[in-house]
């Protein structure tokens, strides 16, 4: 009997109204939910794998007991690629003949050679990273990297290393070699990566919740027919168990198709390293194989969950509804809530300003305003939709547009369905933009500094040698400068705020900066060149005037190694310095290389990891918005198809199925198309106060354009699908 009831449910699902819609929706919903559950497992596997490899490559410092053990000289430095996050450059050299190597390095590079990670070689190819630190001796294996895309370099200096501070002596790597030394570990992942729970929360909030909503919407599609079927089963003496088996039989096949379709994606992640689109992060297939096996259980979890929801929905639908007519009180409450929506938007957008600089009260007012917006928005949309529906009905009647007339009457008399469409899209966009705004706030360390740096001249490079360097090494660096690149040295006044600021350089450099080049020191009261203004702004305190001194390379090298003096390089023709060539030259001249950056760039480097991680929010946000809009569109399509049989006789009066296309366009496509840009405006307005006082927050235009495009694409697809299904129903009615 149980198998027969399951078959009855399967056959009923094939013959019900909009059967194809429900099957496709269930399969797609099960697929997305299974992917999201599996993604949670993959995220956990990635964090576990990275932490294990980080521990395994953390060096163990030398102690009194390990004086006679084999040892390696170790010094952790850093470097950057243009506009990207910093990465570790570790200087290593053997201290004993059998010195241990860090994981992932299978042989000792020779003096003046380097071993780089594959990800760094790929990312820095345009800057000639392969030759920056010396000859390339090999690549770092994945067992020595956080993830396959990590940037990391091990460099063996050509001049050797000495066991003197700040150089450390290490005797091994990982817990098996002893107690790991704090502060000596390579890589920046522990400092840059967000905690696992935050990433999991991102997947849950932006992907899994919309996917579950899509699953629930798919299960409720065609509910009228199932309600009638349930009433018939009850009348025939069927039990709750019988109805449950029929409901499971109807849903289990498409759910199984969709859930099992996710397995190839997990298999691909377990077999090969996958680069995540837009974000650029490379997953580790080894981590998936070792720690991501729970992802294989996600299809089973989805099938069980969907079956349980199908049974619960069928049982709750069987409860008798009240017969008391709805009074006017509900309509009045809806209008009152609608009138409260504009003040709620105003509170969410402008209210936090009342708290001034108090971050705690600003956050509370912002959240209260957002809650009121979400609470009152459906009522406001319903009132507006009802008014627009009446106007659309009049226009359709006046111009003879059957589709507009039908859609207008339906919207004006039943505004709740259209209100759900518009509200769902708007709330999705609000959630997306809020997530971006909070990410921007947490990732902005010096908001005012960012505003200033956005206008900073990039046509000057500051050279900051790492560690203590000699005059000879600096002179060698000046000789290695690329053609047409000329150095200057800026010396602040001896007493802060008093005396001259001295700038030294050759005639080519001084004349390029619009300064005089005379045998005797010259006084300049106003700096005219933009590059010189930036150097003065970021590297000096006070100073009453400029003292311009002509100097050759030997004098410049001697001046550059002194205290607070700043060595800078400009191009004689005023162009942009070749930063990559300047960095490569620094590793040829200085033992540990040098930092090469434009004035003030160090203030932006700390925010780069948060900027990169914000791409996850954008990716998941757009995907989640698409899933949520798909759920909303399916709900609107199902609502439209409820009118399908009632509209079927119109094919006789209108002479074809064009009325379904136009009616679907007015009922589904038009509301969603209007909701997308309107939702962007509301979302951007309510996200404005998330920024700290003095910080200007701009909603990314490209992201909003992408979100609007996704909404429009889904709305058109849902409208065409609804029109086609309604037309098929009409043909069945005529037959």
Given a cut of 90, whether residue 129 has pLDDT beyond it is yes
Task: Determine the pLDDT at residue 427.
Answer: 76
Given a cut of 70, whether residue 650 has pLDDT beyond it is no
Task: Determine the pLDDT at residue 345.
Answer: 79
Pairing of strands 545-550, 500-505: parallel
pTM: 0.79
Task: Determine the pLDDT at residue 448.
Answer: 46
pLDDT, mean of residues 66-72: 82
Q: Tell which wins on pLDDT, 498 or 259.
A: 259
Kindly report, residue by residue over 389-417, the tens digit of the pLDDT.
777 777 777 776 666 677 676 766 666 66
Task: Determine the pLDDT at residue 431.
Answer: 74
Name every residue whose Cβ is closer than 8 Å to that of residue 223 and which is 6 or more positions away in sequence: 313, 317, 638
Rounded CA separation 707/701 (Å): 10
In this structure, of 236-240, 503-507, 529-533, the range with the lowest mean pLDDT score is 236-240
- Quote the percentage of the chain above a pLDDT of 70: 74
Residue listed under structure tokens 């108090």: 358
Task: Determine the pLDDT at residue 321.
Answer: 46
Q: In which order are the strands placed within the sheet that holds 545-550?
A: 522-524, 545-550, 500-505, 485-491, 566-571, 460-465, 594-597
Q: Tell which wins on pLDDT, 671 or 698.
A: 671
Name every residue whose Cβ is closer than 8 Å to that of residue 195 and which is 6 or more positions away in sequence: none
pLDDT band at 677 (very low <50, low <70, confident <90, very high): confident
Name every residue whose Cβ is closer than 8 Å to that of residue 127 and which is 6 or more positions away in sequence: 81, 82, 579, 580, 583
> Structural domain boundaries of the chain?
1-58+197-320, 66-184, 332-450+603-734, 460-599
pLDDT band at 37 (very low <50, low <70, confident <90, very high): very high
* Whole-number CA gyration radius for the chain: 34
Residue listed under structure tokens 């005379």: 518
Q: Tell which wins on pLDDT, 673 or 293.
A: 293
Kindly report, residue by residue over 266-275, the tens digit of the pLDDT.
999 999 999 9
Kindly report, residue by residue over 228-262, the tens digit of the pLDDT.
666 666 666 666 666 666 667 677 888 889 999 99
pLDDT band at 322 (very low <50, low <70, confident <90, very high): very low
Kindly report, residue by residue over 434-458, the tens digit of the pLDDT.
776 666 555 444 444 455 555 555 7
Rounded CA separation 709/511 (Å): 53
Task: Determine the pLDDT at residue 302.
Answer: 92
Task: Determine the pLDDT at residue 326.
Answer: 47
pLDDT, mean of residues 545-561: 91
Highest mean pLDDT among 97-111, 487-501, 654-668: 97-111
Given a cut of 90, whether residue 136 has pLDDT beyond it is yes
pLDDT, mean of residues 557-568: 88
In this structure, of 61-70, 77-86, 238-247, 254-263, the range with the lowest mean pLDDT score is 238-247
- For 30-43, letters b (16+ CB in 10 Å) and e give bbbbbbbbbbbbbb
pLDDT band at 586 (very low <50, low <70, confident <90, very high): very high
């Amino acid at each position: 009997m149980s198998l027969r009831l399951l078959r009855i449910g399967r056959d009923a699902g094939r013959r019900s109204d909009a059967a194809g819609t429900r099957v496709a929706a269930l399969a797609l919903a099960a697929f997305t939910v299974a992917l999201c559950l599996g993604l949670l497992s993959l995220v956990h596997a990635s964090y576990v794998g990275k932490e294990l490899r980080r521990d395994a490559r953390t060096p163990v410092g030398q102690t009194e007991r390990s004086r006679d053990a084999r040892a390696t000289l170790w010094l952790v430095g850093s470097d950057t690629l243009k506009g990207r996050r910093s990465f570790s450059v570790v200087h290593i050299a053997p201290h004993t003949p059998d010195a241990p190597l860090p994981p992932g390095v299978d042989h000792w590079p020779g003096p003046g050679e380097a071993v780089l990670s594959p990800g760094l070689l790929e990312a820095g190819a345009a800057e000639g990273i392969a030759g920056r630190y010396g000859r390339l001796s090999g690549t770092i294996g994945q067992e020595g990297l956080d993830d396959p895309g990590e940037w990391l370099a091990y460099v063996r200096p050509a001049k050797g290393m000495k066991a003197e501070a700040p150089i450390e002596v290490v005797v091994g790597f990982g817990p098996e070699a002893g107690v790991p030394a704090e502060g000596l570990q390579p890589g920046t992942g522990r400092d840059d990566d967000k905690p696992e729970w935050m990433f999991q929360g991102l997947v849950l909030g932006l992907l899994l919740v919309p996917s579950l909503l899509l699953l629930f919407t798919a299960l409720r599609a065609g509910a009228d027919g199932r309600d009638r079927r349930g009433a018939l089963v009850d009348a025939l003496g069927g039990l709750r168990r019988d109805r449950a088996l029929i409901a499971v039989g109807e849903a289990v096949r498409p759910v199984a198709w969709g859930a099992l379709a996710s397995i190839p994606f997990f298999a691909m992640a377990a077999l090969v390293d996958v680069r995540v689109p837009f974000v650029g992060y490379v997953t580790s297939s080894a981590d998936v194989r070792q720690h991501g096996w729970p992802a294989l259980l996600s299809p089973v979890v989805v099938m069980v969950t969907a079956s349980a929801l199908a049974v619960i929905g069928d049982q709750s639908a069987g409860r008798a509804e009240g017969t008391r007519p709805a009074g006017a009180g509900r309509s009045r409450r809806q209008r009152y809530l609608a009138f409260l929506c504009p003040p709620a938007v105003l509170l969410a957008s402008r209210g936090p300003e009342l708290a001034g600089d108090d971050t705690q009260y600003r956050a509370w007012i912002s959240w209260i305003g957002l809650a009121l917006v979400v609470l009152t928005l459906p009522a406001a949309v319903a009132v507006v939709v009802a008014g627009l529906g009446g106007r659309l009905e009049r226009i359709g009647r006046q111009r003879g547009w059957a589709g507009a007339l039908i859609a207008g009457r339906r919207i004006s008399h039943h505004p709740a369905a259209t209100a759900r469409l518009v509200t769902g899209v708007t709330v999705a966009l609000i959630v997306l933009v809020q997530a971006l705004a909070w990410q921007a706030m947490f990732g902005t360390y010096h908001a005012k500094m960012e505003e200033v740096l956005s206008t900073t001249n990039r046509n000057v490079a500051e050279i900051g040698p790492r560690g203590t360097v000699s005059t000879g090494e600096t002179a060698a660096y000046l000789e290695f400068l690329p053609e047409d690149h000329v150095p200057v040295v800026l010396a602040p006044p001896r007493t802060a705020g008093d005396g001259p600021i001295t700038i030294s350089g050759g005639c080519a450099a001084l004349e390029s900066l619009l300064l005089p080049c005379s045998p005797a020191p010259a006084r300049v009261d106003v700096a005219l060149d933009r590059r010189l203004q930036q150097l003065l702004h970021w590297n000096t305190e006070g100073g009453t005037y400029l003292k311009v001194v002509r100097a050759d390379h030997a004098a410049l090298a001697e001046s550059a190694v002194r205290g607070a003096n700043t060595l800078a390089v400009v191009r004689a023709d005023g162009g942009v310095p070749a930063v990559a060539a300047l960095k490569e030259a620094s590793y040829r001249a200085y033992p540990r290389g040098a930092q090469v950056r434009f004035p003030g760039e160090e203030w932006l480097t700390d925010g780069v990891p948060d900027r990169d991680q914000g791409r996850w929010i954008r990716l998941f946000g757009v995907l989640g918005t698409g899933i949520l809009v798909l759920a909303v569109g399916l709900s609107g399509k199902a609502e439209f198809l409820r009118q399908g049989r009632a509209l079927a006789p119109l094919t006789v009066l209108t002479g074809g199925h064009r009325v379904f296309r136009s009616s679907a366009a007015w009922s589904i496509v038009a509301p969603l198309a209007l909701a997308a840009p309107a939702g962007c405006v509301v979302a951007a307005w309510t996200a404005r106060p998330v920024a700290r006082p003095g910080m200007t927050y701009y909603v990314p235009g490209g992201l909003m354009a992408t979100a609007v495009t996704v909404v429009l694409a889904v709305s058109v697809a849902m409208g065409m699908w609804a029109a086609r299904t309604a037309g098929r129903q009409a043909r069945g009615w005529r037959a």
